């Protein structure tokens, strides 16, 4: 068993570093000041192939696989965390869901533009009262009207929804279905093509004001029947499968944020002099750095395992939930260590500690909250509910 990254993935990681350093880190500043969506920078990521790893070459991808996705997500979040969300919207939860569950015609229409960064994606599942209970609490409805559906309702915490060209959105086609999840249907939406769609940015202190999340409002918003994703009533299954792939990127992103926090703490500990010596020489500092170092390394291995497992054609809630949960713990620990080591300096704009911790806090909720992961892991560990889910779809190998 070889735990080293293959040479081609090391080369890929170096390429991601190059894109971050040449374009993203400095480029985002002007867009943040103007509060404008950073289209050109998303396009640079697409041109560099950062979104295409899980897709075949005929759709514009590289077929590098899911372990590559984990590596890319980690490096982006280590260096330019504002752009971590793009790995979900432009690679996994939006275009990969279309690729995985859509028709060949839908994949050809929508996937190439998304992974090239030419079109902006979104994934709209959560609502104000249905974050962790989408089946029972979803209020957005879709009514069939001839050759179209008319959607009414709202979604919340929807990243990139103020700039979306193509998105995956979930609504109830049968609000009275029993069980409730059988009434949910998935749709490919095109907000710029049809009226009845609006997005209101959510103010989130410490997070990007360019690449942001919004509340989405739907007022008789039209979706052609040909844009339905899967069959009516299949939406909940599609959503849960999409979240498994999303947890791959989120665990990688949390690992990258944790590594970034650890790097800041280590550098500061070696530079800060107290009593004539660096505080890195103090035993308590060493202990805290050791705790964070071990946690980050373990989170990385668990995140890589998710990607490796998916590359073998298996989509496992067990593996993905454990990785997402532990990466959350590791990131929180590393963020806390950075705050402790830097002291008051952690609050200043000179160091990125506040920004790192803001993104860590946001990602503890994304793709299933920390407590949702605990429930999934606990039920599986106790034998109450099997969380392998090998029967879920992975288009690399069809239906397993």
Structural domain includes residue 256: yes
CATH number, domain of 135, equals: 2.40.110.10
CATH number, domain of 262, equals: 1.20.140.10
Residues 171 and 246 in one domain: no
Secondary structure (DSSP) of 301-356: HHHHHHHHHHHTT---HHHHHHHHHHHHHHHHHHHHHHHHHHGGGGGSTTSSHHHH
Structural domain includes residue 1: no
* Structural domains counted in the chain: 3
Residues 99 and 153 in one domain: no
pLDDT, tens only, 286-318: 999 999 999 999 999 999 999 999 999 987 788
Show which residues are catalytic.
Answer: 367
Q: Is the four-CA dihedral 126, 127, 133, 135 of positive or negative sign?
A: negative
How would residue 395 be classed by pLDDT, with cut points 50, 70 and 90? Answer: low
Residues 227 and 259 in one domain: no
Structural domain includes residue 130: yes
What's the whole-model pTM score?
A: 0.94
Name the strand (E) or helix (H) holding 32: helix 25-34
pLDDT, tens only, 330-346: 999 999 999 999 999 99
Q: For residue 37, is pLDDT > 90? A: yes
Among 232, 267, 282, the domain boundary falls at 232
Residues 43 and 105 in one domain: yes
Give the domain extent around 322: 237-399
Residues 145 and 191 in one domain: yes
């Amino acid at each position: 068993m070889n735990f080293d990254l293959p040479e081609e993935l090391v080369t890929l990681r170096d390429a991601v570093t190059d894109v971050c350093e040449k374009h993203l880190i400095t480029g985002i500043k002007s867009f943040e000041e103007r509060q404008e969506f950073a289209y050109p920078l998303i396009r640079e990521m697409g041109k560099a192939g950062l979104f295409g790893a899980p897709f075949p070459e005929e759709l514009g991808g590289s077929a590098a696989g899911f372990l590559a996705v984990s590596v890319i997500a980690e490096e982006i979040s280590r260096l330019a965390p504002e752009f971590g969300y793009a790995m979900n919207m432009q690679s996994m939860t939006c275009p990969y869901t279309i690729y995985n569950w859509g028709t060949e015609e839908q994949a050809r229409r929508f996937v190439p533009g998304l992974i090239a960064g030419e079109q902006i994606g979104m994934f709209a599942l959560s609502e104000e009262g249905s974050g962790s209970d989408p089946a029972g609490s979803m209020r957005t409805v879709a009514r069939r009207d001839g050759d179209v559906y008319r959607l009414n309702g709202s979604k919340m915490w929807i990243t990139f929804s103020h700039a979306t060209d193509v998105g995956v959105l979930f609504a109830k086609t049968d609000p009275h279905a029993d069980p409730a999840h059988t009434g949910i249907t998935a749709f490919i939406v095109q907000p710029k093509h049809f009226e009845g769609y609006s997005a209101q940015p959510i103010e989130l202190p410490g997070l990007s004001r360019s690449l942001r999340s919004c509340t989405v409002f739907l007022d008789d918003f039209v979706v052609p029947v040909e844009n339905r994703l899967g069959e009516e009533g299949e939406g909940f299954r599609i959503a849960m499968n999409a979240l498994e792939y999303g947890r791959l990127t989120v665990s990688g992103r949390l690992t990258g944020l944790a590594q970034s926090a650890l790097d800041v703490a280590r550098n500061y500990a070696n530079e800060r002099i107290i009593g004539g010596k660096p505080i890195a020489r103090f035993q308590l500092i060493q202990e805290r750095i050791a705790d964070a170092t071990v946690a980050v390394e373990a989170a990385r291995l668990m995140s890589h395992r998710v990607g490796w497992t998916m590359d073998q054609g298996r989509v496992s809630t067990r593996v993905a939930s454990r990785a997402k949960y532990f990466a959350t713990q590791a990131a929180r620990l590393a963020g806390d260590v950075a705050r402790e080591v830097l002291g008051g300096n952690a609050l200043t704009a000179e160091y990125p500690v506040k920004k790192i911790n803001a993104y860590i806090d946001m990602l503890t909720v994304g793709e299933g909250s920390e407590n949702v992961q605990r429930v999934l892991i606990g039920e599986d560990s106790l034998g109450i509910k099997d969380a392998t889910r090998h029967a879920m779809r992975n288009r690399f190998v069809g239906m397993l």
